[in-house]
Structure 1
Amino acid sequence: MKKMLLATALSGGFMSSAALAQETQQDEIFVTAQRREQSPQDVGVALNVFSGADLIAQGTRNINALENFAPNLEIESQFGSGQPSFSIRGVGFRDYATNNAPTVGVYVDDVAYPIPVMTQGVLFDVERVEVLRGPQGTLYGRNTTGGAIKLISAQPTDDFSAGAVVEGGRFGRVDAEGFVSGPVADTIRVRLSGATSQGGAWQTNRETGEELGDAEQYALRGIVSVDLAPDVEAIFNLHGFIDQSDGLGLQLFNDSAFGPLAHERRETSWGSSPEFSALTGISQTQSPFRDNEGWGTSLTVNAGLGGAALTYIGAYEVLNRKEFNDFDALTLGGAGVFFQSSADVMSHELRLSGETARLNWVGGVYYSQEDLGELYQSDFAASFGPGFAVTTPYNQNVRTMAAYLHGEYELSPLVSVIAGLRYEDEARKLRDLGTFAVATGPLNFANGSNDFTLENRDLNSDNLSGKIGVELTPADDVLLYAHVSRGVKSGGFTAYNTLNPNALTPFAPEKLNAFEAGFKTSFGDVIQLNGAAFYYDYKDQQVQSAIYDAGTGAVVGRIVNADSEIYGAELEAVLTPSPWLTIGQTFGYKSGEFTEFMDLDIAASTLAGMEVLTDRSGQDLGFPNISYQGYVETQTQIADGWSARARFDYSYRDTLSLPLLGPAYAVGDYWLANAQLAFGPDDDRWELALWGRNIFNADYDETRNFFITGGAADIAAPGMPATYGARVSVKY
């Protein structure tokens, strides 16, 4: 298939004006979505790829911002916390707890980050990011139902190079990153990079005028590449980060039952009860904050074995998290929560791959061990009465073992077949979970008694998943593909505050059977058009709900399983009608409904004193149906040896209806638009850019909910207002 950079733009890598056109027309971004280097147009998978320059131009400093540039992708911080929820094509999992696996796998340099909160560091010095849509598992260490996001760090270079980017913006925000790379010996290459983000407080306390939203983040990474032998390379990666930023202040979108309050877009509030302050040591007037740090190391060894290649990846990642959030946006302590988490993940992956004239294959084994210890404390004084400051500690251990095999065989120059298989065995152990409330005595466990006996739960599962498909290449610039795949997401535990042990009954793994067909085409250097359509048969989808405990007559919040179906399509196009103009458009559509879900009617069950179920079959799943992204980029010579570039990009997200909460908590649709003007010399030594983000100052929320019964505090996680600033990039 014809290889050209325009292909990468269509695949989602919106070309950055941070890179000079003269260079980008010669260099193509390759992807490793199928464990080998390929042009995105040669991969029969729906994917997007963004270069490091793209991320800088888009202002993407955190993985969550990718949702504005890839179709059918949503990344939602849970009520403004550091716990993200990833969703691709409507396959997502909303859970503010730390202990459960995501539906979308996140990989950094081929190392899986199975605890979602571990993904929230600064995004810097990146070679590229790949977003893969659909179940993954026959090529990766982890198994997922929604898709995968791969971050690939920039690697050490054979020649000396260095660079830096400094950006200043509205509200006093400053972001900076830099790197130094090159050889230190004939067989050793080193790359050192770092980044920091400072300032940017854009919210105010409506009672006191105190500002909120300052960033204080630091990150470092060192990569050493060593040639151990002519066909053996070892790559050692050591990295770490510190995040002492302010948290996000939630916004009241209705008048509170505690009195009418102003709703100016950037206003928020916070506060804690005396009991919560005494329990945690956090001041009653303390604003939301993060005090997180993490570090990790990995060793990758690549060895050529004649007709095959052997790869070993060993990694160890550590996260220490302290995070205080106020989930009611009131001063009286109705739903404050303080997370103290300690997590470490150890993993090993051994992979063997090979290629012949007609066959590409890869097989591997994977092992990981996750250890999570968490203590979270909740302030329910305004919800349940004075004294309800609650502590819930627990520990969770997860052991995962897997083996996978994937092959692609060319039957003829026209037809290739693809098949993959994966077996996974997992053991999850929840230990020492209890709930202790100040108001109900010195100690009380989840069973409601005062016995200091902590609850333990085990969940053992083994699953088979796989993929089979066909690819057709009727012409050099045309790829047609169709495949059926099955993905599995781990089961888990509802590790929330509870006075009932039935809340800890594990929920089952979810299974997704995916049917997809698509095409990738090029029409010379002028037009590229890619598309895909899919249908998902979703079994045991994990859903936030509740159960009724007949023994105690209590309604107990718990994650449960339901069946559903999802279908949709994506269409992506890039037009280059002239060398100075590029236009890119992406459109995503998805729709889904429950096919079998007997859900608890909480109000009716409470009133009747018995279990009352409601049939939600046919009810919409509530995710945004339409996503739309686009950009227009121009470039021109302004003088001999000097170029100027302009870019305008925009994105649309449809209504988020949240039907299980009711219509009052629907999040309206919104548009975001960004603009940039940049100029610099053609030798790419430096560049100056002026930018604006959310330039039309769209008023939007990320999500909505309530945390005090009776509608006393309806809250929303607000989006950023308009920002603008300048950026200087230098390169040697």
Structure 2
Amino acid sequence: MKTNKLQKFAIGAVVSAVALSLHAQESDSEKKLGLEVISVTSQKKVENVQEVPIAISVVNEEMLNIYTSSGDDIRFLNARVPSVVVESSLGRTYPRFFIRGFGNTDFRTNASQPVELVVDEIVQSNPNLKGFPAFDLERIEVLKGPQGTLFGRNTPAGIVKLDTKKPTEDFDGYFKAGVGTFNQLNLEGAVGGALIDGKLSGRLSATSQTRDDYVDNGFTGEDDAIGGYDDVAVRAQLLWTPTSDMKVLFNYHHRDLDGTAAIFYAGAIDEGTQGFSDDFDREEVFQDGENIQTVKQNGGSIRIDYDFDSTTFTSITAIENVTMFSRGDVDGGYGCGFCDTENGPGFVPFSVETSGDNDIEQFTQEFRLASNNWDVFNFQAGFFYFDETIDSEELAYDSVFAPGSIIENVHINQDNTSYGIFGSVTYDIADDLSVIAGARYSSDEKDFSAVGILPVAEGFSDSTDVSKVSWDLTVNYELQDDVMVYGRLAKGFRAPSIQGSTTFITTVDSEELISIEAGIKTTLLDDRIRLNGAIYRFEVTDQQLTAVGGEDNETRLLNADKTLGQGVEVEFEFAATENLLLTAGASYNDTEIQDDDLGVPHCGVPNCTVLDPIISEGIAGINGNSLPQAPKWIGNFTAKYSVPVQNGEFYAITDWAYKSETSLFLYESVEYTAEKALEGGIRIAYRSNSDYEIALYGRNITDEQVVTGALDFNNFAAIVNEPRTFGVEVRMDFY
């Protein structure tokens, strides 16, 4: 990749900044001791997070810059927020979110998730849309528990909400460049300000993340064969204020990714053991197939806000289009044992090389009317419309006898339309007591078809049509200044799903969830401590589960009679001294599938060590199991120490994320239970009071290796987390 000039520029800027910083002297000025107020828009209006009766975790701009310093995608949220897991079996696209143990492991193009990603109040429903790079953001909010009233169906577990920086009349901008391990080059910047005084403002932001291939292919003898990427994204916004009462925000965004699909390592796990084998090397594979991925995404929106003095009308119109091609050597090795050819590493029963060529189009429209800070009563009411079309070709290749030739081609189409009518009211019974009640009526229709092109097959089709009501009721009480307690009862649902191929089709009913939650939010010690906690319990009926892989290598949808979940979450911030800031978070999430008769195919050849009862040949009973990708314990910790000097400050910050053992599939086995993991990062920097920062960073500094995904029907192939990286970064700000 052609990065030498840019790398030299970035390194030169770093050296210059360090030289300047050596002349800084200590300052006599005092810093105000206390925590900053965190503003959120979790209820579609700006509020202090401490006054919102929902379990909300917030990742601020500073931590976003740290988590993404090595080019990490949205999976950086994994275990860095209590109760949150993020993983992908498709690389830098198609992230799957799990909140409180509740998510979906399905990798098919039309799969739905019980956690929605919302960017600037626009739902990014298809998982292929959820991987857009996180840059130039105000913050990320994670709302836990059902959010169906304001954010719609398919949010029974919660939402991940991204808010981008908007145009203002004040000129500002920034540019940052970072270089690191594997010739990593990250460039990011933004500029904004008034274009026509009082009438038109704009903001343009962009990011480019590049990494060279670093994984050798021992089968072909090629060094640095895969693992790299070029990921470029841009966002342009215009804010037009034709009158003092009206604002119109235009948004256009684009992404272009050219990289590597998820890397499967054949024989990464030894039979009967947990974790990687002793000779596992994350920088070498032995693959006889291709591993490529391209993503192109374009989207735009128009938001209109009109202030009627006592109320505000909002209209948000948005379109999204993404095309994604991903091709991978899924078995992770070479050859075919059942074909009586040389194969390995270990024993590769049969060759699996597949691809998906997907085209997704989405249109959404929301109309909303909200009161403007009335006295004791406030409301929101609106209408939402959603339309999505998915066209996908799923292909399988011959990697052994005629490398590159297509042996199967299935065309999948799904049309999904949905609309919702919603309302929410807040009533202040007294100065210290208020009630929030909301409801939403949703209608959802799907039409699905799967037709075989090669070999010729008749295929299958099906459709669903369902209407449901979701609701929530919340009571919050201010015990004293800066101490608020709340209780919340909510119902959410996920619309029916359809999945299939040319040989079978499965359609599952909608799932419904009832959740009860109690929480406390406190600000103590003259705003130096923020301590929030929540305890919850939920019950899901007809939960949609996905049996992935198994001995017959099929992806099938299931409805479980019931799933129970319960847990505790705690978040803590402490301005210990003028120089030391500590944060910590922890969660305990316990989930249990309750269905006496439910079984799923377990691992194929070679056989893994299944811990569940075998209820029939090749079928394991999963009654009593936890949900997949649902660790019981998640913990995170950060510590920042800063030393003021005359023209700025030196600071060091470290962050750590812990996740306990995690089952990767619906059935439990020794091999497919990921080990507990602790990943850490560090950043040492000088930040001037004026316009620049220079930093050294490290991610996964202990080089922790943990299984994040696996293939259970072929040779213990596994996916590994990102490797250790170090680098240097410089940032310039303009005002």
Determine which of 449, 455, 472 is the counterpart of 1:467: 472
Q: Which residue of 1 aligns with 2:720?
A: 718
What letter is aligned with 2:511? E
SS at match of 2:671: helix
How far apart are the structure 1 equivalents of 2:297 and 2:196? 31
Structure 2 gaps of 5+ residues are: 1-28, 272-276, 336-349, 605-613
SS at match of 1:244: strand
Q: Which residue of 1 aligns with 2:171?
A: 160
CA contact (8 A) 1:538 1:564 kept: yes
How far apart are the structure 2 equivalents of 1:371 and 1:149? 23
Q: Which residue of 1 aligns with 2:7?
A: none
Q: Which residue of 2 aligns with 1:228?
A: 242
Q: How far off its partner does 1:148 sit?
A: 0.5
Tell whether 2:544 aligns with 1:542.
Answer: yes
Determine which of 42, 45, 48 is the counterpart of 2:57: 48
Tell whether 2:197 aligns with 1:182.
Answer: no
Instruction: Using the TM superposition, name which of 241-250 and 509-518 deviates more.
Output: 241-250
How far apart are the structure 2 equivalents of 1:610 and 1:704? 24
CA contact (8 A) 2:269 2:718 kept: no
Q: How far off its partner does 1:340 sit?
A: 0.5
Tell whether 2:93 aligns with 1:57.
Answer: no
Q: How far off its partner does 1:270 sit?
A: 2.4
Q: Which residue of 1 aligns with 2:292?
A: 289
CA contact (8 A) 2:592 2:626 kept: yes
Q: How far off its partner does 1:24 sit?
A: 11
What letter is aligned with 2:367? L
SS at match of 2:322: strand
What letter is aligned with 1:590? N
What letter is aligned with 1:238? Y
Q: Which residue of 1 aligns with 2:558?
A: 560
Q: Which residue of 1 aligns with 2:144?
A: 133
Q: How far off its partner does 1:77 sit?
A: 0.2
Determine which of 348, 355, 361 is the counterpart of 2:365: 348
Q: Which residue of 2 aligns with 1:588?
A: 587
Cα displacement string for residues 51-77 of structure 1 (whole angstroms, at most 9, x for unaligned residues): 233211222642221124201101110
Q: How far off its partner does 1:204 sit?
A: 2.0
CA contact (8 A) 2:215 2:284 kept: yes
Q: Which residue of 2 aligns with 1:598?
A: 597
Aligned residues: 666
Determine which of 669, 683, 688 is the counterpart of 1:681: 688
How far apart are the structure 2 equivalents of 1:64 and 1:21? 38
Determine which of 266, 269, 272 is the counterpart of 1:254: 269
CA gap of 1:200–1:73, structure 2 versus 1, over 3 A, is farther
How far apart are the structure 1 equivalents of 2:282 and 2:617? 41
Structure 1 gaps of 5+ residues are: 1-19, 273-285, 447-454, 549-553
What letter is aligned with 1:617? N
Q: Which residue of 1 aligns with 2:654?
A: 648
CA contact (8 A) 1:676 1:690 kept: yes
CA contact (8 A) 1:533 1:570 kept: yes
Instruction: Using the TM superposition, name which of 394-403 and 656-665 deviates more.
Output: 656-665
Instruction: Using the TM superposition, name which of 72-81 and 351-360 deviates more.
Output: 72-81
Q: How far off its partner does 1:289 sit?
A: 1.2
CA contact (8 A) 1:328 1:706 kept: no
CA gap of 1:132–1:116, structure 2 versus 1, over 3 A, is same
What letter is aligned with 1:254? I
Q: How far off its partner does 1:23 sit?
A: 9.9
CA gap of 1:567–1:143, structure 2 versus 1, over 3 A, is same
CA gap of 1:209–1:546, structure 2 versus 1, over 3 A, is closer
CA gap of 1:559–1:307, structure 2 versus 1, over 3 A, is same
Q: Aligned runs of 1:387-402 on 2, under 5 Å?
A: 389-402=407-420
Determine which of 413, 417, 439 is the counterpart of 2:431: 413
Determine which of 30, 33, 39 is the counterpart of 1:30: 39
Q: Which residue of 2 aligns with 1:15?
A: none
Cα displacement string for residues 419-473 of structure 1 (whole angstroms, at most 9, x for unaligned residues): 1101100100013x12355xxxx51234xxxxxxxx2211111111110121010
Q: How far off its partner does 1:246 sit?
A: 2.2
Cα displacement string for residues 343-369 of structure 1 (whole angstroms, at most 9, x for unaligned residues): 110110001111311122111110011
What letter is aligned with 1:203? V
Q: Which residue of 1 aligns with 2:22?
A: none
Q: Aligned runs of 1:455-494 on 2, under 5 Å?
A: 455-494=460-499
How far apart are the structure 1 equivalents of 2:416 and 2:717? 34
What letter is aligned with 1:444? A
SS at match of 2:408: strand
Instruction: Using the TM superposition, name which of 328-337 and 508-517 deviates more.
Output: 328-337
Cα displacement string for residues 283-327 of structure 1 (whole angstroms, at most 9, x for unaligned residues): xxx3x1112101011000011112111100000100011111221
Q: How far off its partner does 1:581 sit?
A: 0.7
Determine which of 108, 116, 135 is the counterpart of 2:127: 116
Which of structures 1 and 2 has the larger relative contact order (alpha carbons within 8 angstroms, sep 6+)?
2
CA contact (8 A) 1:250 1:715 kept: yes
CA contact (8 A) 1:380 1:390 kept: no
Tell whether 2:73 aligns with 1:74.
Answer: no
CA gap of 1:26–1:79, structure 2 versus 1, over 3 A, is closer
Q: Which residue of 1 aligns with 2:218?
A: 206
Q: Which residue of 2 aligns with 1:9?
A: none
Q: Aligned runs of 1:321-332 on 2, under 5 Å?
A: 321-332=324-335
Q: How far off its partner does 1:520 sit?
A: 0.5
SS at match of 2:170: coil
How far apart are the structure 2 equivalents of 1:386 and 1:545? 29
Q: Which residue of 2 aligns with 1:280?
A: none
Instruction: Using the TM superposition, name which of 484-493 and 592-601 deviates more.
Output: 592-601
Q: Aligned runs of 1:604-623 on 2, under 5 Å?
A: 616-622=622-628, 623=630
CA contact (8 A) 1:414 1:473 kept: yes
What letter is aligned with 1:224? L
Q: Which residue of 1 aligns with 2:23?
A: none
Q: How far off its partner does 1:491 sit?
A: 1.5
CA gap of 1:146–1:641, structure 2 versus 1, over 3 A, is same
How far apart are the structure 1 equivalents of 2:181 and 2:381? 50
What letter is aligned with 2:118? Y
CA contact (8 A) 2:235 2:253 kept: yes
CA gap of 1:611–1:262, structure 2 versus 1, over 3 A, is closer
How far apart are the structure 2 equivalents of 1:185 and 1:226? 9
Q: How far off its partner does 1:386 sit?
A: 13
Instruction: Using the TM superposition, name which of 657-666 and 347-356 deviates more.
Output: 657-666
Q: What percentage of aligned pairs have identical amino acids?
A: 23
How far apart are the structure 2 equivalents of 1:270 and 1:366? 47
How far apart are the structure 2 equivalents of 1:371 and 1:129? 28
Q: How far off its partner does 1:32 sit?
A: 0.5
Tell whether 2:444 aligns with 1:429.
Answer: no
Q: How far off its partner does 1:152 sit?
A: 1.0
Tell whether 2:320 aligns with 1:313.
Answer: no
What letter is aligned with 2:687? G
CA contact (8 A) 1:486 1:514 kept: yes
The TM-score normalised by the length of structure 1 is 0.86
Tell whether 2:383 aligns with 1:365.
Answer: yes
Cα displacement string for residues 15-59 of structure 1 (whole angstroms, at most 9, x for unaligned residues): xxxxx9969979644110011111111111111112233211222
CA contact (8 A) 1:425 1:463 kept: yes
How far apart are the structure 2 equivalents of 1:642 and 1:604? 57
Q: Which residue of 1 aligns with 2:8?
A: none
SS at match of 2:598: strand
How far apart are the structure 2 equivalents of 1:591 and 1:82? 28
Q: How far off its partner does 1:659 sit?
A: 4.8
Q: How far off its partner does 1:705 sit?
A: 2.6
The TM-score normalised by the length of structure 2 is 0.86
Cα displacement string for residues 215-234 of structure 1 (whole angstroms, at most 9, x for unaligned residues): 21111111000002111000
CA gap of 1:602–1:624, structure 2 versus 1, over 3 A, is closer
How far apart are the structure 2 equivalents of 1:255 and 1:663? 10
Q: How far off its partner does 1:650 sit?
A: 0.4
How far apart are the structure 1 equivalents of 2:529 and 2:686? 26
